[in-house]
Chains A and B, each alone.
Chain A
């Protein structure tokens, strides 16, 4: 479903932070993205959620060649991608309800229908009482749940998370991973960047390991 071929990325005129990245993500697969700090995990995710265009190589997503696509065609593609940012990126001036409704509104979904979906989802993740609160008054764990709700409200085909377990305690991290596992079972393709070895061990999904901007084979990683 997603294919990278010899992809390279540099920021401005700097050095290449990603080099010769090639991989295939099958529909409905679950991968951990690992690697030391500065290896390029966030950069790779940015390519996946179309926040950057690579400086070279080929990227195919949902069967479409992203590199030659006109800019206008990328917005509908992004609507199939859910992202949980490391720092959540919730909008403080909007209520929890409006934050989660954002992708639906951006996609032009009718207001009444969108509101129905959002309330249902927020109830399901235990934030039914917080609909009209601003994110700033929520705890870290609650904010994270809002961020996840926003990422999945559109029923994305690809769900990306950048160190979603970085800012929360282990119990919450575990709950989060269970939720992701649930979505994975429903057919969502998932990539989670994390440093948390315990979680990786526990769930046992395959990993993409980055080292100095290059993808390292799993076997070689095991040897390291």
Chain B
């Protein structure tokens, strides 16, 4: 069965007033849905990038204590032993004197550190991949006095969680837009069939099959949605180009996933054709 008939339209659908506005409505929905999709997925791509950088690195700081306490080097050794034995840790390396000088240079200048300065010892810890919960590690380190786990990823993880929440909301909105589009398409096909019920009944009586009549409606909806999504796709592309230009000027590095641009137009065209098919068959089924 051909998807679209070649014969000239038997049902004068192209004269409907509703059909004249549909491309613009579909264009609007295409713009919204495309921006939503492209921005969301670009953002999610970026966020998962941060996630990769962040996850995996923590710093353990061991503070100098007064003379009565265990000496600092011993405590560093204890912490290192503890860290290296932990199942979530990949590597643990003490930050050497030279690196320490480098770190503190903004305050004390280059050169050796003052001897009397109580400088904490630092241990760079690389976590195993996919480790996000370092609660156990933190508790274990409590046995070493003066040791603190500095999880510089934690606030970024909050940001990440927030971004994910935003993505979730956006996904729901996207679904709502698609749902609205489907409802509108259903309504439109129903209205068209209502407006042309005399022609459709006549076709039915002269022996036209449901498939024949449904094909006419499918073809009509196909062309309307092609017009609409083309227009909407162009507008969305223009808006994205502008957005990227502004973002770049503001110093933001946005990696737009351009290949996602045709997704919504294709989806909406498919939905239009599928909706026309189903509504037409459902309605025609009511005829004897």
Within 8 A of B (CB), among A41-90: 49-53, 71-72, 74-79, 81, 83, 89
B288 pairs with A75, CB closer than 8 A: no
- Which chain B residues in 196-211 approach chain A with CB under 8 Å? 198-199, 202-210
Indicate if the CB atoms of A91 and B202 lie closer than 8 Å.
yes
Q: How far is the CB of B62 from chain A (nearest CB, A)?
A: 82
Inter-subunit contact A76/B207 (CB<8 Å): yes
Interface stretch (choices B6-14, B74-82, B100-108, B150-158): B6-14
User: 1/0 contact trace for B169-207 toward A, CB 8 Å?
Assistant: 000000000000000000000000000001100111111
Is there an interface contact between A106 and B206, defined as CB atoms closer than 8 Å?
yes
A164 contacts the other chain (CB 8 A): no
Query: Is there contact, CB below 8 Å, between A51 and B288?
Result: yes
Q: Which A residues lie within 8 Å of B136 (CB)? A: none
CB-based contact A49/B205 at 8 Å? yes
List B contacts of A107 (CB < 8 A).
207
Chain B residue with the shortest CB-CB distance to A81: B207
Asked if B12 and A106 sit within 8 Å, CB to CB, the answer is: no
Which residues of B are found within 8 Å of A74, using beta-carbon distances? 288
Stretch at the interface among A22-30, A97-105, A187-195, A205-213: A97-105
Q: B202 and A103: CB pair below 8 A? A: no
Give complex CA distance A81, B204 in Å.
Answer: 12
User: Which of A78, A91, A94, A106 has its CB near the most chain B CB atoms (within 10 A)?
Assistant: A106
Residues on B with C-beta less than 8 A from A81 are 207
- Taking residues whose C-beta sits less than 8 angstroms from the other chain, chain A's interface range is 20 to 34
Q: Given the complex, which residues of A lie within 8 Å of B7, measured CB to CB?
A: 105, 111
Is B251 on the interface with A (CB-CB < 8 A)? no
Are the C-beta atoms of B8 and A75 separated by less than 8 Å? no
The answer to whether residues A150 and B206 also contact, given A71-B285, A102-B10 and a CB cut-off of 8 A, is yes
**B212 beta carbon closer than 8 Å to chain A:** yes
Q: Does A93 contact B (CB under 8 A)?
A: yes
A108 contacts chain B at the CB level, 8 A cutoff: yes
Question: Given the known A-B contacts A94-B10, A105-B10, are A79 and B205 also in contact in the complex, defined by CB atoms under 8 Å?
Answer: no
Query: A52-B288, A91-B199, A93-B15 in contact; A102/B8 too (CB < 8 A)?
Result: no
For A98, list chain B residues within 8 Å (CB): 8, 10
With A91-B199, A94-B10, A111-B7 given, is the CB distance from A102 to B288 under 8 Å? no
Within 8 Å CB of B285, what residues of A? 71
User: Are A51 and B10 in contact, with the CB atoms below 8 A?
Assistant: no
A50 to B208, CA, bound (A): 13
CB contact list, A85-140 vs B, under 8 A: 89, 91, 93-94, 98, 102-103, 105-108, 111
Report the minimal beta-carbon distance from A196 to chain B, rounded to whole angstroms: 24
Bound form: Cα–Cα A150–B208 in Å: 14
A108 touches B212 (CB 8 A): yes
- Asked if A106 and B208 sit within 8 Å, CB to CB, the answer is yes
A93 touches B12 (CB 8 A): yes
Closest chain B residue to A102, Cβ basis? B206
Query: Are A106 and B8 touching (Cβ within 8 A)?
Result: no
Contact flags B59-77 to A (C-beta < 8 A → 1, else 0): 0000000000000000000
Alpha-carbon distance between A50 and B203 when the two chains are bound, in angstroms: 13
Q: Is the CB of B205 within 8 A of A83?
A: yes
Report the bound CA distance from A72 to B208 in whole Å. 10
Q: How far is the CB of B12 from chain A (nearest CB, A)?
A: 4
Known contacts A53-B288, A71-B285, A89 near B202 by CB under 8 Å: yes
> Using a CB-CB cutoff of 8 Å, which residues 1-59 of chain B contact chain A?
7-8, 10, 12, 15
Q: Which residue of A lies closest to B202 (CB)?
A: A89
- Choice from A53, A72, A106, A111 contacting B207 with Cβ under 8 Å: A106
Q: A-facing mask of B246-288, CB < 8 A → 1, else 0?
A: 0000000000000000000000000000000000000001001
Nearest chain B CB to A1 CB, angstrom units? 18
On A, residues with C-beta under 8 Å from B are 49-53, 71-72, 74-79, 81, 83, 89, 91, 93-94, 98, 102-103, 105-108, 111, 150, 154
The 8 closest A-B pairs by CB, nearest first: A79-B207, A106-B208, A78-B207, A103-B206, A93-B12, A75-B209, A106-B207, A53-B288
A-B contact pairs, 8 of them (CB 8 A): A50-B205, A75-B207, A93-B15, A98-B10, A103-B207, A105-B7, A106-B206, A106-B208
**Interface residues, chain B, CB within 8 Å of chain A?**
7-8, 10, 12, 15, 198-199, 202-210, 212, 285, 288
